[in-house]
């Protein structure tokens, strides 16, 4: 209703403005024609009663005293020109006819001669005002052209502008009143119509999967709203059935995700343990003077990985999530270096800015972070590549410990960069894609960050930032 009223008022105002302008245009055009006809009739009378021969040269003498009388009687400026456009006589009191007087432009002379009525009206806009100027041939009683009559006419639209403004004000008042009435009617009608819909919308807003939803008990006056209520009540019944199925599905999915995480966390230390045992078997020498120290290092490494698997298994057996943080004060540099010992690749390089960075952190989770990143770095380098390097660095920066793992592998494709930390996403032919997602959660639990920079075909750099906790 409101839009229709506004559109109607705009259309009516626009049409009214156009109508007033057209009326003003027609009025000025007709007024100029009436004045021109009256002046021509008067001129024809003067030509018929003059004693001068009717020639172009005598026009100046014929209208010498009469032109001012004509202009006064008809209340309009009168100019008389020769057939070639030279000004002969003007009703302007201060005008003096001389050689510098502006003649009629040639294109106007041509248009006057070529027209059927031997008449042309030139329209120009000067300083925002529209000026009309008519040009008509003056003829003798034998219809022989003697000169050209020019009547300048300035359009005065003050009256029409005043009338238009008054009309628009009245129109605005009427439509403003109609808009107020429309607002009131729209409000009461919408309140009446949507009263039942408000009850339905409130119930729909309260509808959730986590609780038992109540049906709507309401008898509306509208058949359509009653159909909507019946549809909502059916939806509540179907939603309750779906909620039961969804809860069961979520429990099954949770078990599957937990099983995958546990399998992944157990599998992580198995690979370095296998490599450690193989290396120990290959390099074992009973006569080595450092055999006891090497056995102790190998034992410490295996025990450390076994403890990690034991923690995961204990967490699963207790029906919990991944192991909770067991923070202890330790030297992060030593833990990282000891973790790298389980990898037997010769191309792993370790750089530490200082021999000691003390922080309070969970040893098992730190080992998990390093193991995962280094294993991924090793696997990203193709077997056939000649120059292989995995660089692990650690340094302190303000109150943060920065751990970097850089490889010269195949890198990460740009289209995969946004998904690299997503669960189950992997670019490898094996694995479940949970490693980076798990260590990202571990790092974020410590209020840390993990970022990477990668150039496809050149390698990847992972940077882990963990806050240094002293107590």
2-161 sits in which CATH class? alpha beta
When pLDDT is averaged across residues 138-165 and rounded to a whole number, the result is 79
When pLDDT is averaged across residues 168-187 and rounded to a whole number, the result is 84
Phi-psi region of 20 (alpha: psi -120 to 50; beta: other; left: phi over 0): alpha
For the chain, the farthest-separated pair of C-alpha atoms sits apart, in whole angstroms, at 156
Report the C-alpha gap between 64 and 75 in whole angstroms.
18
Q: Is the pLDDT of residue 319 over 50?
A: no
When pLDDT is averaged across residues 329-358 and rounded to a whole number, the result is 90
Helix 223-283, helix 195-206: angle, nearest 10: 20
Structure tokens at 441: 């959660």
pLDDT at site 320:
44
When pLDDT is averaged across residues 169-173 and rounded to a whole number, the result is 84
325-471: what fold?
Answer: Heat Shock Protein 90 (3.30.565)
Q: Is the pLDDT of residue 452 over 80?
A: yes
Structure tokens at 274: 């296998």
Q: Is the pLDDT of residue 321 over 60?
A: no
Burial code (b: 16+ CB inside 10 Å, e: under 16) for 439-461 equals bbebbeebebebebebeeeebbb
Delimit the CATH 3.30.565.10 region(s) of the chain.
325-471
When pLDDT is averaged across residues 339-358 and rounded to a whole number, the result is 88
pLDDT at site 100:
56
Delimit the CATH 3.30.450.20 region(s) of the chain.
2-161
pLDDT at site 41:
87
pLDDT at site 369:
92
Q: Determine which of 1-15, 253-267, 397-411, 442-456 has the lowest per-residue pLDDT on average.
A: 253-267
Q: Is the pLDDT of residue 431 over 60?
A: no
Highest mean pLDDT (candidates 210-219, 239-248, 338-347):
338-347
When pLDDT is averaged across residues 195-222 and rounded to a whole number, the result is 71
When pLDDT is averaged across residues 112-132 and rounded to a whole number, the result is 81
When pLDDT is averaged across residues 105-117 and rounded to a whole number, the result is 87
When pLDDT is averaged across residues 385-392 and rounded to a whole number, the result is 91
Higher pLDDT, 284 or 40: 40
- Of the candidates 463, 248, 466, which has an alpha carbon nearest to the alpha carbon of residue 373? 463
- The mean of the pLDDT values for the chain is 81
pLDDT at site 210:
62
Q: How is 438-463 classified by DSSP, letter by letter?
A: HHHHHHHHTT-EEEEEEETTTEEEEE
pLDDT at site 95:
46
- What is residue 139's three-state secondary structure? strand
Structure tokens at 300: 């410490």
The contacts of residue 296 (CB under 8 Å, 6+ apart) are none
The contacts of residue 172 (CB under 8 Å, 6+ apart) are 9
pLDDT at site 459:
92
Report the C-alpha gap between 6 and 194 in whole angstroms.
24
Residue whose token pair is 């020019």? 150
pLDDT at site 331:
92
The predicted-structure confidence for 88-100, as pLDDT tens digits, reads as follows 888 876 544 444 5
Q: Is the pLDDT of residue 311 over 60?
A: yes
Q: Is the pLDDT of residue 128 over 70?
A: no
pLDDT at site 430:
53
Residue whose token pair is 């300048």? 152
pLDDT at site 157:
65
pTM greater than 0.75 (yes/no): no
- What is residue 137's three-state secondary structure? strand
Q: Is the pLDDT of residue 460 over 90?
A: yes
Q: Is the pLDDT of residue 280 over 80?
A: no
Q: Which residues pair with 467 in a beta bridge?
A: 400
Higher pLDDT, 57 or 339: 339
When pLDDT is averaged across residues 365-378 and rounded to a whole number, the result is 91
């Amino acid at each position: 209703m409101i839009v229709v009223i506004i559109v109607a008022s705009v259309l009516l105002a626009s049409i009214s403005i156009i109508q007033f302008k057209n009326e003003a245009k027609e009025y000025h055009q007709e007024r100029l024609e009436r004045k021109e006809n009256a002046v021509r009739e008067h001129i024809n009378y003067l030509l018929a009663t003059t004693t001068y021969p009717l020639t172009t040269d005598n026009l100046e003498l014929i209208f010498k005293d009469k032109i001012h009388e004509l202009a006064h009687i008809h209340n309009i400026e009168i100019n008389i020109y020769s057939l070639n456009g030279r000004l002969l006589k003007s009703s302007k009191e201060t005008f003096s006819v001389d050689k510098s007087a502006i003649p009629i432009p040639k294109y106007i002379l041509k248009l006057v001669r070529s027209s059927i009525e031997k008449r042309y009206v030139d329209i120009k806009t000067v300083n925002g005002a529209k000026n009309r100027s008519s040009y008509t041939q003056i003829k003798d009683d034998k219809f022989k052209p003697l000169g050209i009559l020019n009547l300048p006419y300035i359009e005065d639209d003050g009256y029409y502008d005043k009338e238009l403004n008054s009309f628009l004000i009245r129109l605005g008042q009427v439509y403003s009143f109609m808009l107020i009435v429309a607002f009131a009617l729209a409000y009461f009608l919408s309140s009446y119509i949507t009263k039942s819909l408000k009850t339905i919308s409130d119930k729909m807003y309260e509808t959730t999967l986590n609780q038992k939803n109540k049906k709507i008990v309401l008898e509306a006056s509208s058949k359509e709203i009653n159909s909507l209520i019946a549809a909502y009540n059916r939806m509540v019944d179907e939603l309750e059935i779906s909620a039961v199925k969804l809860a069961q599905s979520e429990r099954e999915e949770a078990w599957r995700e937990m099983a995958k995480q546990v399998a992944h966390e157990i599998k992580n230390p198995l690979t370095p343990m296998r490599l450690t045992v193989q290396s120990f078997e290959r390099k074992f020498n009973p006569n080595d003077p450092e055999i006891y120290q090497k056995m102790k290092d190998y034992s410490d490494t295996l025990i450390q990985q076994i403890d990690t698997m034991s923690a995961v298994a204990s967490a699963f057996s207790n029906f919990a999530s991944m192991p909770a943080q067991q923070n202890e004060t330790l030297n992060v540099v030593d833990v990282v270096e000891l973790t790298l010992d389980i990898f037997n690749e010769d191309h792993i390089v370790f750089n530490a800015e200082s021999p000691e960075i003390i922080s309070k952190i969970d040893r098992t989770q730190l080992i998990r972070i390093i193991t995962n990143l280094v294993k991924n770095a090793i696997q990203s380098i193709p077997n056939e590549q000649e120059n292989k390097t995995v660089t692990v660095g650690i340094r302190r920066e303000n109150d943060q410990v920065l751990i970097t793992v850089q490889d010269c592998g195949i890198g990460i494709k740009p289209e995969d960069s946004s998904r690299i930390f997503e669960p189950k996403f992997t670019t490898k032919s094996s694995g479940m894609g949970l490693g980076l997602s798990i260590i990202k959660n571990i790092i974020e639990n410590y209020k840390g960050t993990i970022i990477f920079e990668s150039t496809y075909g050149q390698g990847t750099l992972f940077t882990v930032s963990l806050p240094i906790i002293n107590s």
